[in-house]
Structure 1
Amino acid sequence: MHKLAALLAAASLTLSACSGTAMAAEEAVKAPAAARTAAEGKGLKTAIFAGGCFWGVEAVFSHVKGVTGVVSGYHGGDRRSATYDLVSSGVTDHAEAVKVTYDPAVIRYDQLLRIYFSVVADPTLKNRQGPDVGAQYRSALVPTNAEQSAVAKAYIAQLSKAGLWPRPIVTRIEPMKAFYPAEAYHQDFMLNNPRHGYIVRWDAPKVAALKAMYPGVWRAAFLKDAG
């Protein structure tokens, strides 16, 4: 998370770290089911999602039935620059991201995409989410196989035609590179810090929206120490 934004949130301020103007919480938008469903076969699969601060992305997916692992980390750059201090400064090619391991017999990739676009990230914001600004907070999908890539492209095209948002979708599909787990204190952050100002202001509403929109896949308990 943007360090200044985190400090502002902790102080219960609702100002943008960049503009100093009041900001509304991101609105959840219930996306339609994917017209193309993922045919993934048996066995656990992994996918990588970037959608702003990884605390909230991890928290949402940790509450999804069928998800067996969630790890916050960095994707898009090299090993040397995969540290919080460097990534949060905006000088690397990394995005804050979450690697999700899931069982497609319980939850398919296209269903994870629906959750992502509904409650995780605003797909119309370029290089920012909530109060966090910079390419490290970009909205991006990182498929780990050809089927995921095809499903992601088809779903973005479907959503673009649906016109659910007032602005064009700018979520990127990025080629898979090495994923580097973030520092230990970033893992299970919402579980361990439920009253943190940033969590209360920006991430708890995403988890609440998941429960309200998709009760059929909702898991009440956090998926702790996954991955």
Structure 2
Amino acid sequence: DPASAELTKYVSNTMLAMRISFMNEVALLCERVGADIHSVRFGVGSDDRIGPKFLYAGPGYGGSCFPKDVRALASTFEETGMEPRLLEAVDWVNEQQKLVLQNKIEQHFGSDLSGKKIAIWGLAFKPRTDDIREAPALVLIDRLLELKAEVCVHDPEAIENVRAICGDRIAYTQEPMEALNQADALAIATEWSVYRTPDFSEMITRMKSPVVFDGRNLYKPADMADAGFSYYSIGRPTTIPAYSEVQ
């Protein structure tokens, strides 16, 4: 029947969004207690009752489906006189999670980013699309500009969509490494395959300071420390080389 079909779509997407928000909250807890979200995800996902999908911590979900359907289902609850407390929490957690990279950047550099260049890899809300609707990268860009940072971005597909919004307030590059030239830090917002196996030596050479804020947990913290990076990720220990000084 039509009512059940419509509700099924909303409930399906909301359950997936709920998994993401829950794991993002767990990731914050992992950082507080010294746990590793990857280990937690593997253990939880190995339970057949739960499964491994949509358990990856990150900078929050975006796109045209999850945010819209969570809010639509919440509105349906309200229209019937019910309070959608859980759905409101899912949405609230997601909006807060979109600030996670900015918070880590401020933790490292302080709240005045004047004179700092921050490179961003990834603009679309997920790989293999140019869709930037409710993308976490857009929130990060706005926050960095508010903090007076210089922002330079790369994305394989979404550059022109972001240019239409941001114009000349930020810089754009055609190659990932170009964005790193004299950058004080790199923030990774989308897990495009082109970002998974970069030349760390070239990154070190190009960057003014080797600091990476990885919103997608693409790299192993130990490997980043060995390469000489200060490395912040989601739900895992921060690694800062012993010789490093906060710039």
Normalised TM-score (structure 1): 0.30
Structure number with the bigger relative contact order (C-alpha 8 A, sep ≥ 6) is 1
- Identify, as 1 or 2, the structure richer in helix: 2
Question: Which has the larger Rg?
Answer: 2
Normalised TM-score (structure 2): 0.28
